[in-house]
A and B are shown apart, each in its own frame.
Chain A
Amino acid sequence: MGESSYQVRLDSFQGPLDLLLHLIKVEEVDIYDIPIARITDQYLNYIKFMRSLDLQVAGEFLVMAATLLRIKAEMLLPRPQGNDLEGPDPRQELTEMLIEYKRFKELAEQLRGMEGERFRFYPRGEAASPPGDDPLREINPFLLWRAFQEALDKAPKDTPHTISPDEATLREKMDLLLRSLEEGREIRLTDLLRQDPRRIALVLIFVAILELARQRRITLRQATPFGEILICPLPG
Chain B
Amino acid sequence: MRDEELKQVIEALLFVATSPLSPQKLGDLVGGIKPGLVQRAVRDLNLSYQNRGRSFRIQEIAGGYQFYTLPHLAPWIERLVAEKKRRLSPQALETLAIIAYKGPINRPQIEAIRGVSADGVLKTLLERGLIQIKGRENSVGRPLLYGTSKAFLQYFGLRRLSDLPKWKEFSDHGQAKAEQVPLPNGNSLQERGRYAYCPGEGEGREGKGSFPGEVG
With A and B bound together, what is the CA distance between A120 and B56 in angstroms? 12
Are B15 and A121 in touch, CB under 8 angstroms? no
Are B96 and A111 in touch, CB under 8 angstroms? yes
Interface residues of B (CB under 8 A from A): 14-15, 17-19, 56, 59, 66-74, 77, 80-82, 85, 87-88, 90-91, 93-94, 96-98, 100-101, 112-117, 123, 126-127, 129, 155-157, 165, 167-168, 170, 173-174, 176, 192, 195-198
Given contacts A123-B67, A140-B126, contact A110 B165 (CB under 8 A): yes
Are B170 and A99 in touch, CB under 8 angstroms? yes
Closest 5 A/B residue pairs (Cβ): A120-B71, A15-B116, A120-B74, A124-B67, A107-B97
Binary CB contact string for chain A from 97 to 125 against chain B (1 if under 8 A, 0 otherwise): 10111111111111110111111111111
Given contacts A60-B117, A122-B73, A123-B68, 13 further A-B contacts (CB under 8 A): A14-B94, A14-B114, A60-B115, A102-B176, A114-B195, A115-B87, A115-B156, A116-B87, A117-B71, A123-B67, A124-B68, A138-B129, A142-B126
Which residue in chain A gives the minimum CB-CB distance to B175? A32
Which among B17, B115, B174, B196 has the greatest number of chain A C-beta atoms within 10 A?
Answer: B115
Are A122 and B115 in touch, CB under 8 angstroms? no
Are B80 and A127 in touch, CB under 8 angstroms? yes
Residues on the A chain within 8 Å of B19, using CB: 135
Binary CB contact string for chain A from 138 to 151 against chain B (1 if under 8 A, 0 otherwise): 10101100000000
Residues on the B chain within 8 Å of A197, using CB: none
Are B157 and A117 in touch, CB under 8 angstroms? yes
A77 contacts the other chain (CB 8 A) = no
Residues on the A chain within 8 Å of B126, using CB: 140, 142
Are A114 and B170 in touch, CB under 8 angstroms? no
- Tell me, rounded to whole Å, the shortest Cβ–Cβ distance linking B54 to chain A: 13
Are A107 and B81 in touch, CB under 8 angstroms? no
Tell me the dominant secondary structure on chain A's binding face. helix
Given contacts A108-B93, A120-B74, contact A140 B129 (CB under 8 A): yes
Among A56-106, those with CB < 8 Å from B are 58, 60, 64, 97, 99-106
| Count of chain A residues with a beta carbon within 8 Å of a chain B beta carbon | 48
Residues on the A chain within 8 Å of B94, using CB: 14, 104-105, 108
With A and B bound together, what is the CA distance between A103 and B59 in angstroms? 30
A126 contacts the other chain (CB 8 A) = yes
Binary CB contact string for chain A from 220 to 235 against chain B (1 if under 8 A, 0 otherwise): 0000000000000000
- Tell me, rounded to whole Å, the shortest Cβ–Cβ distance linking B149 to chain A: 10
With A and B bound together, what is the CA distance between A60 and B192 in angstroms? 35
Residues on the B chain within 8 Å of A111, using CB: 88, 93, 96-97, 100, 156
Which residue in chain B gives the minimum CB-CB distance to A138? B129
Residues on the A chain within 8 Å of B157, using CB: 114, 117-118, 121
Residues on the B chain within 8 Å of A123, using CB: 66-68
With A and B bound together, what is the CA distance between A110 and B88 in angstroms? 13
With A and B bound together, what is the CA distance between A125 and B67 in angstroms? 9
Are B81 and A14 in touch, CB under 8 angstroms? no
Among A5-25, those with CB < 8 Å from B are 12, 14-18
With A and B bound together, what is the CA distance between A115 and B116 in angstroms? 24
With A and B bound together, what is the CA distance between A17 and B91 in angstroms? 13
Residues on the B chain within 8 Å of A124, using CB: 14-15, 17-18, 56, 66-68
A184 contacts the other chain (CB 8 A) = no
Which residue in chain A gives the minimum CB-CB distance to B76? A122
Which among A30, A112, A118, A125 has the greatest number of chain B C-beta atoms within 10 A?
Answer: A118
- Tell me, rounded to whole Å, the shortest Cβ–Cβ distance linking A30 to chain B: 8
